[in-house]
Structure 1
Amino acid sequence: MDPKLLLARLRRYPSAALLAVQLLGVLLHAALDDGGTGRLGQVVLSLFGLLVLGMALRVVRQSPAANSWAIALALSVLVLWGWHWLTPGTQLLLAISVLEALFYLYAAGALIAYMLQDDAATPDELMAAAATFTVLAWAFAHLYMACQLLVPGTFPAAVRPDAPRTWFELLFLSFTSLAGVGLSDIAPVKPMGRALVMLEELAGVIYIAGVVSRLVGLTLRRRDSR
């Protein structure tokens, strides 16, 4: 495909661009999040995280729920990330995790409002359905990270059970919990961790039953009307 045509389509469908970037992020984290790449890998992952944040902000601004709160949250995260790189600290990482979780939860809500604003299922809204799923997974992964920082030992695993989980491991737990497949080898053993997992499982069920099923119904109705 012509790169110019691809870029034009991604600009036309910002939700598809966000989905593509986040799926690329899963692969990038898988390659660099094992700690073997050292500080360079951490820098690459941090920069990529800021890219995802910017893409999400662009999509949120397309929705009716967008306002200055999204920009304020995104700018706060940028400032704290810069501060964290200059003077790393657990408290700063905790604040970043909480703010990023709030931003992605806000982005998910804005995307859902965008999909519910009319009675037609456009191609970008169908892409927004998938992008919202990944945004929710990102949000809960950051909540898990915040929980782990507050209550160490919340998420032991079969591999290195005493070590803290990496962000990619928590993202894996988030995806499996949101999808309801239960395939993760990471088990929450503290009350707060279990509460967050239960909330994410409930969010996944409600999202599939309420939002995705509605888009499927609208798509089928449009096809039948033709």
Structure 2
Amino acid sequence: MSIYLAEKILLEKFQHEPFHNFYLLNNIQPTTTKFGGTCSDKALSYLKSVKAAGLKAYLHTARIGGEESHRLVRLEINNQCYFADVGNGWPSIQLYPAFRPVLYECYGMRFRTTIESNVLKIFHFKRGVEKLQMEIDIIEKSEKTIQKSIARRFSSGVVYPFSNQLRFSMVVDQRFLFVRNTTLEIYSNNYYEEVPHINIADLKKIIMTYFKYDAVSLELESLYNNMQGN
């Protein structure tokens, strides 16, 4: 039941709180997590929700490209460790056990893990290509240290893969949609398609039309306006 609840909340976060880099592009620390954001914002939001549901959960980190710059959530369920990765942009909608490898498919892509020497590796397969997505040290991490890193994430000098490109993704109905730089990528179990040549001027319309997400009345509106003016 606890695993079901943790994954139910995980999917809801992908459906209702977008992954995006608007705060990063505007160098603005968000005042709330309810409008999504990058991994830190989404991990904090998920952490708050699963704790409120009575689950044991803690902040954790992972390495992407060798840099320990990614935040996620570690859960303890029935005395066993699991990881929830709600904020890497891609729809990792199932928990990753720390004690056995898993493989699952969704929206026309595949996620699988390996475990060796207390390191859990996550591999992501899409459009015929599989890549190592991240590496997670299974041993628990200091939440205080992670929280300090989150507080200075925009001033620490860390360069993210999307530091200078647009990102916005959500699960919408039975599809996964991802704006990556100037292209909207649409994934489903049955097909893949693209909407090319997106720019900042198109963004509001794209978000409202394809994502069915009302960015006009939210905090994201001011961030959108700032980006359009730059």
What TM-score does the superposition give when structure 2 sets the normalisation length? 0.29
Larger-gyration structure (1/2): 1
Higher helix share: 1
What TM-score does the superposition give when structure 1 sets the normalisation length? 0.30
